[in-house]
Chain A
Amino acid sequence: MSAALPDIAWHLLTGALASYRDQPRAAAAVRRELERFEEPLRIAVAGPPRAGKTTLLGELAARRGVIFTETPTIPVPDADALLYLTPHPGESVAYELADAQVSTLARATPVDTIVVLSRADEFGGGRVDGLGSARMIARRYQRHVALQQVCQAVVAASARIGYAGRTLTAPEHAALTSLAGRTREETERYLLSVDRFVDPQAPVPVDPAVRAGLVERLGLPGVRLALTLLRTGSATRDELSGQLVARSGLDDLRDAIGELFIEWRPVLKARSALIALDALVRAQPHPDGARLLAALDRALANGHELRELRLLAALRAGRTRLPISRTASSRSGAGSRVRPGGGGAADRRHRPGPGRPAGRGADRRAGMGGGRRRRRPLAGARRGPPAPPGPPPRGRRRGAQL
């Protein structure tokens, strides 16, 4: 049984620090990586202009132990994880992401990326069900063979709707309610275009300036959605607000970030450190270099946490399923969600058993292969004895293999 990835990474870094003590710059770089180990998880929010980065950043807000940064381009140096925003889904996203992963190690362990179909409210040509169809597309893309290999999840989210829903004011609610009070036939012609909706001549019971404000906040599809929600039972402000937030997909995104990134902070940190160390060793040749590279390679290939993480993503995406008896308990509430490194029944249940052959090929099968083979690690887990509780997130113990 190999040691935990964070321990291995820490050990490799301190070892590299000793090896590079005669090269001040390289040593400083290693020291920087060691410092980063202690720092909060850095999640970069990247995407083309007008993809909705800033709004999303505002909605994700600060979470403890996480720093979000906004950037127009990838790759993002110093980021442990990436939210890649794209207004339009497509295979080209996979190519962009693959191109951005410069190192082989990074490419072999694509556990740091979530693709976000931002501006999901504008899908479906602005129809009321735009958000719903965006969510379906995201779910389909999650199983797309090209996207699977570059990201952990595809989530549709509209930060605009989420923000507007969360901060819906009483006057806005009142205006929407009075609009919804009219019959569908009456309002329909004014909801055809923004021009018509904000037209001062339009005989609707809401002031044009307020209408313009609503469009500004929700967008025309958002207004259509809000009116539909009001007519179908979410009458109060709280209900409407809750519905808008729920439909915005932001909760899905937060869940994904929590389950795939934040809970795995030590592993993601260790991964970035190992990738950085790999780049450093390749750039600054050293007598110990070959040994370090081999150790790095082994660490990432054997790192069962990374395989676990890939498996977790596959489970989330529905690319694979747990046996029915396990599904109930593992899905019952946030408390028993799969957690990295730390002990807990749920964790042990997911961890591949010791008898399982480790290696790159196994890793690929676990995360990216066909559905039939993907179940094998689970079978192993079921047969094998429960793994001992994981070590603390970052200890100074010596890694067993090093």
Chain B
Amino acid sequence: MAPPWLDVLDETIHACAARGRRDLVRLLEDRRTRLLDPRLRVLVVGTRKQGKSQLVNAIVNAPACVVGDETGTTVPTVVQHAEKPSAVLVSGRADRTPVPVDEVGALALRRPVGGAAHLEVGLPRTLLRSGLVLVDMPPLDGAAEPGYAEAGLDGADAVLMVSDARREITRTELDFLVRAGRSCPQVLVVLTKIDLSQDWRRTAQRNREHLAEAGLPAHVLPVSADLRLRAAKTDDRALNAESGFAELVACLQQYAATKAERIAPHTAAAVTTRVLESLAEPLLAQRSAAAGQLEDLQRSLERLRRQSARWQNGLADDIADLASDVEYDLRDRTRRIIRTVDEFFDTADPAEVWDAFAPWLEENLRNAAEANFGWLVERSHWIAARIARDLAAYRADVLPDSTFWMPDQVFDSMSELERPSFGHFSLAQKLFTGLRGSYGGVVMFGLLTSLAGLPLINVVSIGAGAAFGEGGGTAAHRGLLPQVQQGVPGRGPAGAPGAARPLQRPARTAPGRAGRGGARRPAPVRRRRAPTGVRGPPAAVPPGPAGERAGAAGHRGVSERMRTNHGLSAPVPHDGGERSEVPS
């Protein structure tokens, strides 16, 4: 019955064949053959000058591999069992050059460029008879091209990493072992030259820790090839024991004996995993491509979201600015009108000039409202254009032709100016007021004259009373005038800077009425800019010059008419500077 690992391997081969991966099929079939081969192929690897070749020589107790300070191993040397010592340089399938066995140890071979040459050395050794094959590899960090040792891994059953006991295992070595573990999981680390090292025990311990950290379940065996060779020469058993080779050889023999049960399943598992990974690679690549695409889309969505938030915020800010600017402008315009009205009523009696005043006020307010509204429209166009610029960068066709239009009859719903009630002095009222004044006069002069011996009510006192009564009537009328004037629409605190007036109405009334139905006031006043920028919009904002001028002209026209008709001497100034020209 076939072992389970063979089934797995075969199924993997089928899967690879089904997906047309001939390279993987070939690789797996090679491994399958090798794993079924009873021989154990051990790859001896390591960096320069670690004693790899000397180790192999010490294992087989023969100068099978090139050793020396200068001449490193240049071609892989395969040491295997043979009935008679033999050496063959294999440069190709049919190119086998016999080499004198005695010279093998001193052979300085140049590896043909790009060639897969190797040296086959056969030795009659009991250890090798069990099927152990040792492959001495050129150094990992030597002049050979990188990946040279990796290529040999696919044909190996176990890896024997050789590392000098006088130093700890290096990153290069660990990295190679990690890579090797993917196709050849049976790894053995041999510390060489322990005869020259003082603290090889500590080094071995540290190496075990390093291997554990790297997740490599590798044995660490400290040995000394020199001691072993010397022991073999002098037949010194104690020295052989010190060399540590007994354990190494036992380990290799055990590997060779249990290849089918222990090494083959592990290797099959590792190889299958690697092959499946490489089968899945295109799919993973696809997935990562899709993930990349998704990421791109998410990024652009995020960008759009940011852009959208930006224009929305920009719009909100602009509208808030606009609202406060428009409101301020309107208030400013009405304030000027009110100031004129104030000055006018300081001297004029509303009752007398009302009929001329009402149309003048209405026209002025209308002009102010129109100019303000025109400015609002212009500003909103400007805002719209600015926002549109941002949007057009993203999608040009998103904008309609026009975003804002002027309603035809904006001010139609404005109400007529109400005539305030001025009241009338009736005869009785006049008489009473006169009496109130004369009474004081009569009593005062009566008292004075009585002091002079005259009766309380006499001619003098009555005459004085009459005089007082006249004055009192005028004074009472005068006292009423401010109240009457106050009743005129458009007067409020805005129009009376700093003046403490006894009968002020709440500020809202006048502009509220004037602007009703036209430009709607934004409810809360949110002024963010200092009112010095009276004429409203900041630099880049068109200040609605046309409306402004039209408004000013309107004012002037109205005031001209008022002046001619009713002796109003001052035009309604739109600019504070003009006030000085007003004749008193």
Report if B195 contacts A (CB, 8 A): yes
Verify B69–A133 contact, CB threshold 8 A.
yes
User: Given known contacts A125-B54, A193-B242, A195-B242, is B143 in contact with A92 (CB within 8 Å)?
Assistant: yes
- Complex contacts, A126 vs chain B, CB 8 Å: 193, 195-196, 226
Verify A137–B69 contact, CB threshold 8 A.
yes
Q: Nearest residue in B to A220 (C-beta to C-beta)?
A: B196
Interface of A is mostly: helix
CB-contacts of B157-199 with A (<8 A): 166-167, 193-198
Verify B48–A90 contact, CB threshold 8 A.
yes
Which of A89, A192, A194 interacts with B239 by CB under 8 Å? A192
Report if B141 contacts A (CB, 8 A): yes
Report if B72 contacts A (CB, 8 A): yes
- Complex contacts, A246 vs chain B, CB 8 Å: none
Report if B513 contacts A (CB, 8 A): no
Which of B54, B69, B141, B196 interacts with A219 by CB under 8 Å? B196
Report if B224 contacts A (CB, 8 A): yes
Verify B141–A195 contact, CB threshold 8 A.
no
Which of B167, B196, B224 interacts with A221 by CB under 8 Å? B196
**Residue among B142, B193, B196, B197 with the most chain A CB within 10 A?**
B196
Report if A175 contacts B (CB, 8 A): no
Report if B96 contacts A (CB, 8 A): no
Report if A397 contacts B (CB, 8 A): no
User: Given known contacts A125-B54, A192-B239, A193-B227, is B69 in contact with A90 (CB within 8 Å)?
Assistant: no
Report if A88 contacts B (CB, 8 A): yes
Verify A88–B48 contact, CB threshold 8 A.
yes
Verify B195–A194 contact, CB threshold 8 A.
yes
User: Given known contacts A87-B49, A92-B142, A92-B143, is B196 in contact with A134 (CB within 8 Å)?
Assistant: no
Verify B196–A92 contact, CB threshold 8 A.
no
User: Given known contacts A87-B49, A92-B143, A192-B230, is B198 in contact with A137 (CB within 8 Å)?
Assistant: no
Report if A50 contacts B (CB, 8 A): yes
Closest chain-B Cβ to A178's Cβ sits at a distance in Å of 21
CB-contacts of A27-51 with B (<8 A): 49-50
Verify A193–B196 contact, CB threshold 8 A.
yes
- Complex contacts, A215 vs chain B, CB 8 Å: 198
Report if A21 contacts B (CB, 8 A): no
- Complex contacts, B224 vs chain A, CB 8 Å: 193
Verify A134–B69 contact, CB threshold 8 A.
yes
Report if A308 contacts B (CB, 8 A): no
Q: Nearest residue in A to B230 (C-beta to C-beta)?
A: A192
- Complex contacts, A239 vs chain B, CB 8 Å: none
- Complex contacts, B197 vs chain A, CB 8 Å: 194
Report if A255 contacts B (CB, 8 A): no
**Residue among B141, B143, B198 with the most chain A CB within 10 A?**
B198
Report if B70 contacts A (CB, 8 A): yes
Contact with B along A76-110 (1 / 0, CB 8 A): 00000000000111111001000000000000000
Closest chain-B Cβ to A38's Cβ sits at a distance in Å of 41
Report if A123 contacts B (CB, 8 A): yes
- Complex contacts, B70 vs chain A, CB 8 Å: 89, 137, 140
A89–B49 CA distance with the chains assembled, in angstroms: 9
A195–B197 CA distance with the chains assembled, in angstroms: 8
Which of B142, B227, B230, B242 interacts with A90 by CB under 8 Å? B142
**Residue among B69, B143, B227 with the most chain A CB within 10 A?**
B69
Report if A238 contacts B (CB, 8 A): no
CB-contacts of B135-149 with A (<8 A): 141-143
A95–B499 CA distance with the chains assembled, in angstroms: 97
Report if A392 contacts B (CB, 8 A): no
Verify A92–B141 contact, CB threshold 8 A.
yes
Verify B167–A194 contact, CB threshold 8 A.
no
Contact with B along A109-138 (1 / 0, CB 8 A): 000000000000011111000000110010
Q: Nearest residue in B to A196 (C-beta to C-beta)?
A: B242
A153–B167 CA distance with the chains assembled, in angstroms: 28
Verify B194–A193 contact, CB threshold 8 A.
yes
Closest chain-A Cβ to B49's Cβ sits at a distance in Å of 4
What is the size category of the interface that chain A forms with chain B?
A: 20 to 34
Q: Nearest residue in A to B243 (C-beta to C-beta)?
A: A193
- Complex contacts, B195 vs chain A, CB 8 Å: 126, 192-195, 220
Closest chain-B Cβ to A392's Cβ sits at a distance in Å of 45
A126–B166 CA distance with the chains assembled, in angstroms: 12
Closest chain-A Cβ to B247's Cβ sits at a distance in Å of 16
Verify B198–A90 contact, CB threshold 8 A.
no
Q: Nearest residue in A to B144 (C-beta to C-beta)?
A: A92
- Complex contacts, A212 vs chain B, CB 8 Å: 198
A220–B197 CA distance with the chains assembled, in angstroms: 8
A49–B171 CA distance with the chains assembled, in angstroms: 12
Q: Nearest residue in A to B201 (C-beta to C-beta)?
A: A195
A140–B224 CA distance with the chains assembled, in angstroms: 29
- Complex contacts, B198 vs chain A, CB 8 Å: 194, 198, 212, 215-216
- Complex contacts, B194 vs chain A, CB 8 Å: 193, 195
- Complex contacts, B166 vs chain A, CB 8 Å: 50, 122
A194–B239 CA distance with the chains assembled, in angstroms: 13
- Complex contacts, A140 vs chain B, CB 8 Å: 70
- Complex contacts, B193 vs chain A, CB 8 Å: 125-126
Closest chain-A Cβ to B117's Cβ sits at a distance in Å of 19
Contact with A along B27-39 (1 / 0, CB 8 A): 0000000000000
- Complex contacts, A221 vs chain B, CB 8 Å: 196
Q: Nearest residue in B to A50 (C-beta to C-beta)?
A: B167
Q: Nearest residue in B to A134 (C-beta to C-beta)?
A: B69
A126–B69 CA distance with the chains assembled, in angstroms: 11
- Complex contacts, B230 vs chain A, CB 8 Å: 192
Contact with A along B52-79 (1 / 0, CB 8 A): 0010000000000000011010000000
CB-contacts of A186-210 with B (<8 A): 192-196, 198
A49–B230 CA distance with the chains assembled, in angstroms: 31
A137–B49 CA distance with the chains assembled, in angstroms: 14
A283–B49 CA distance with the chains assembled, in angstroms: 41
Verify A123–B196 contact, CB threshold 8 A.
no
CB-contacts of A251-286 with B (<8 A): none
Verify A90–B143 contact, CB threshold 8 A.
yes
**Residue among B142, B195, B224, B226 with the most chain A CB within 10 A?**
B195
A134–B69 CA distance with the chains assembled, in angstroms: 8
A364–B48 CA distance with the chains assembled, in angstroms: 32
Closest chain-A Cβ to B108's Cβ sits at a distance in Å of 13
Q: Nearest residue in B to A94 (C-beta to C-beta)?
A: B143
A90–B224 CA distance with the chains assembled, in angstroms: 24
A209–B470 CA distance with the chains assembled, in angstroms: 140
- Complex contacts, A133 vs chain B, CB 8 Å: 69
Closest chain-A Cβ to B192's Cβ sits at a distance in Å of 10
Q: Nearest residue in B to A88 (C-beta to C-beta)?
A: B49
CB-contacts of B110-145 with A (<8 A): 141-143
- Complex contacts, B72 vs chain A, CB 8 Å: 90
Closest chain-A Cβ to B139's Cβ sits at a distance in Å of 8
Q: Nearest residue in B to A140 (C-beta to C-beta)?
A: B70
A195–B72 CA distance with the chains assembled, in angstroms: 28
**Residue among B48, B70, B226 with the most chain A CB within 10 A?**
B70
- Complex contacts, A134 vs chain B, CB 8 Å: 69
Q: Nearest residue in B to A133 (C-beta to C-beta)?
A: B69
Closest chain-B Cβ to A137's Cβ sits at a distance in Å of 6
Q: Nearest residue in A to B225 (C-beta to C-beta)?
A: A125
**Residue among A49, A91, A122, A133 with the most chain B CB within 10 A?**
A122
A273–B223 CA distance with the chains assembled, in angstroms: 51
A213–B194 CA distance with the chains assembled, in angstroms: 18
Closest chain-B Cβ to A216's Cβ sits at a distance in Å of 7
A26–B87 CA distance with the chains assembled, in angstroms: 65
- Complex contacts, B239 vs chain A, CB 8 Å: 192
Would you mind naming 22 contact pairs between A and B with Cβ atoms under 8 Å apart?
A89-B70, A90-B72, A92-B48, A92-B142, A92-B143, A95-B143, A122-B166, A122-B196, A123-B69, A125-B193, A134-B69, A192-B195, A192-B226, A192-B239, A193-B196, A193-B224, A193-B242, A194-B197, A194-B198, A195-B195, A195-B242, A212-B198
Q: Which A-B residue pairs are the 5 nearest by beta carbons?
A: A193-B195, A88-B49, A126-B196, A88-B48, A91-B143
A87-B49, A194-B197 are known; give 7 further A-B pairs, CB within 8 A. A90-B143, A123-B69, A125-B193, A125-B226, A194-B196, A196-B242, A221-B196
